[in-house]
Structure 1
Amino acid sequence: MRAILIDWLIEVHHKFDLQPETLFLTVNLIDRFLAKQSVIRKNLQLVGLVAMLLACKFEEVSVPIIDDLIFISDKAYSRSQILAMEKQILNTLEFNMSLPTPYVFMKRFIKAAQSDSKLDQLTFFMIELCLVEYEMLKFPPSLLAAASVYTAQCTLYGLRQWSKTCEWHTHYTEDQLLECSRMIVGYHQKAAVGRLTGVYRKYNTSKFGYAAKSEPAKFLVEETDMIFENNSS
């Protein structure tokens, strides 16, 4: 259910042409709220919409009005329900809106990697694939960001590109990134199939340089499997 919600919110975020920071903060608010407060299934979409509203208030110059949220939810929720959930989320999180998301680290790590627009687009494609996947919550935001940059480098250039500069700025070695990177490659391989294809369709456009069409770095998965086999033996 979380994956369906995040996939849909990525589309909503794109439709409203919001800032990248807003998407990452939205997901952060959702996960922190759900870690403290259980909600019934029919209200999960409401949590997502209100989290995006709060993120917009924190990051955007122009904030979508509540009527917009009611419309995109197909009038599933009323104005009073949206306002009540806004209050509940803020009280549950004790108004703590300013925690580092993967985006904060991405900006620095991309610069350290001496990235160009092609690597930028592919890196963001990688990390948005991670946002949808619940199992990626086990990784710290900084590691997710570093692994996304690393995986994008390998995808584009076919060789390991993790320089000493990248290692110094991220505080992660190449070996520390391999497990996360391997999982990202797996998501890339299946991004165009199944029900949750919002990220793929978003990045399979000229606006994002058709980043989704890049051939997955399968050799990373194969290399990592060999490393794990050698270590176990």
Structure 2
Amino acid sequence: MERVDENGRGVMEPANFPDMGSRRALRDINNLVGAAAPCAYASRKRGTPDKGSVDDQNPTSVARRPMTRKFAAQSERKSQAYQQGTKEQHEQVRNEIHYNPPLPSTVSIEMEEQVDNSDLKEIEMAIETAPDIDSCDSNNPLAVVEYVQDIYSFYRQTEVTSCVSPDYMSHQFDINEQMRAILVDWLIEVHYKFELMEETLFLTVNIIDRFLARMTVARKKLQLVGVTAMLLACKYEELSVPMVEDFALITDRAYTREEILEMERLIINTLQFNMSVPTPYVFMRRFLKAAESDEKLELVTFFIVELCLVEYKMLKFRPSLLAAAAIYTAQCSLRGFKCWTKTSELHATYSEEQLLECSRLMVQFHHKAGQGKLTVVHRKYSSHRYGYAALSEPALFLLETGH
């Protein structure tokens, strides 16, 4: 009768043999703990006499091993495996057994240890894992260290859903890139006055771009799209959401409450209610942690990336790349030389070379931040509240060729 063991494989139940009289005890087939290692048996077909093992008490005698179904099946499998081997392999094994003298045990052990150690070194060099940056938060339930790797792996897989075509403005008939820049610059000021969370600003700009990439908008409705996008972002991110009347008031009552609510319905239906998209903010938090940032580095990084929100040309970069390049540019700005640690590279999965194109554009934005008409970001980060981050020197050496 067959039964199934704990590993799920079929195993034959032992047969009920009648009294065998002088049958040898089971201890003679080395089934007890501490028994001598079993001798090798020659492969044989079922039903043929087995050669057995040498008897401990009489070396010239042979102990007969009983032929059970399980043992016969095992022997048959060994026989088939042996027959499948090539002739050259058999000759090699035979030569090693008969002609190669065995090395002393101590020498063999030393050689095996050397081989094992070299293999381990090769494995360690081949597999490069990111250092653990979450051990300090192991007791913080809000850090969700058990799931943080899965969360950011999911962000990486889905960040493409938050991206838009970098030339979507070509499909707009009444607005252009400069109008978008004016709108975003103004919304950064509104965000500052309402004292909203940083996540809200990034989601606001993302909603605007995704909506404009799908829907043509008249010039007189562009500001309405902007304030409505911020209202939606507030509902998604904020604990205390400003009233609809507050957004109507901030536009100097250019739009009514009903118009804002109507635009809200249009936006959420156009975006199919998808507000859960990874923005550069979520990646910056992770990459800043990998960079072991301080408050100064964090403020300069946010200053640089907010400058990028205004620039339409930066839509060609993925959120994770934008975040990594902002941190790299901020480090170069504060330290005066190129700085991108191995830990940052492993967690961001971007090398320094991959960041240079985006970083050089950021240096240009940093250099001209206080010039022109769109200076809200520069004024915001020139205050004591934001650590005078805008006054840091731009990393102009990154623009030089050959560096």
Q: TM-score range by the shorter chain?
A: over 0.9
Deviations 1:140-180 (A, max 9, x none): 00000000000000000011110110000000000000000
Correspondence 1:198 to 2:380: no
Partner of 1:216: 394
Name the SS for the 2:252 alignment partner.
Answer: coil
Identity %: 65
Partner of 1:158: 336
* Greater gyration radius: 2
Decide which of 259, 271, 275 is 1:93's aligned counterpart.
Answer: 271
Question: How many angstroms does 1:68 deviate by?
Answer: 0.5
Correspondence 1:183 to 2:358: no
Work out the CA distance in 1 between the residues paired with 2:370 and 2:348.
Answer: 30
Correspondence 1:48 to 2:249: no
Partner of 2:315: 137
Question: How many angstroms does 1:42 deviate by?
Answer: 0.7
Work out the CA distance in 1 between the residues paired with 2:339 and 2:182.
Answer: 34
Work out the CA distance in 1 between the residues paired with 2:329 and 2:241.
Answer: 34
Work out the CA distance in 2 between the residues paired with 1:129 and 1:226.
Answer: 26
Work out the CA distance in 2 between the residues paired with 1:159 and 1:215.
Answer: 12
Work out the CA distance in 1 between the residues paired with 2:385 and 2:277.
Answer: 29
Partner of 2:296: 118
Work out the CA distance in 2 between the residues paired with 1:142 and 1:221.
Answer: 22
Deviations 1:100-150 (A, max 9, x none): 000010000000000000000000000000000000000000000000000
Decide which of 262, 265, 288 is 1:84's aligned counterpart.
Answer: 262
Work out the CA distance in 2 between the residues paired with 1:79 and 1:17.
Answer: 22
Partner of 1:231: none
Work out the CA distance in 2 between the residues paired with 1:40 and 1:200.
Answer: 29
**TM-score relative to the length of structure 2:** 0.55
Partner of 1:230: none
Correspondence 1:2 to 2:180: yes
Work out the CA distance in 1 between the residues paired with 2:264 and 2:288.
Answer: 34
Q: Give 5+ residue unaligned stretches, structure 2.
A: 1-178
Work out the CA distance in 2 between the residues paired with 1:189 and 1:45.
Answer: 28
Structure with the bigger percentage of helix: 1
Partner of 2:42: none
Q: For residues 102-117 of structure 1, what are the structure 2 equivalents within 5 Å?
A: 102-117=280-295
Decide which of 248, 262, 280 is 1:70's aligned counterpart.
Answer: 248
Work out the CA distance in 1 between the residues paired with 2:399 and 2:209.
Answer: 28
Partner of 1:168: 346
- The residue type paired with residue 156 of structure 1 is L
Deviations 1:75-110 (A, max 9, x none): 100111101000000000000000000001000000
Root mean square deviation, CA, Å: 0.7
Question: How many angstroms does 1:226 deviate by?
Answer: 3.5
Work out the CA distance in 2 between the residues paired with 1:204 and 1:48.
Answer: 25
Work out the CA distance in 1 between the residues paired with 2:187 and 2:301.
Answer: 19
Deviations 1:33-82 (A, max 9, x none): 00000100011000000000000000000001011111110110011110
Runs of 4+ in 1 over 3 A off after TM superposition: none
Partner of 2:206: 28
Work out the CA distance in 2 between the residues paired with 1:76 and 1:27.
Answer: 21
Work out the CA distance in 2 between the residues paired with 1:192 and 1:200.
Answer: 6
**Structure with greater contact order relative to length (CA < 8 Å, sep ≥ 6):** 1
Partner of 2:10: none
**TM-score relative to the length of structure 1:** 0.96
Work out the CA distance in 2 between the residues paired with 1:38 and 1:198.
Answer: 27
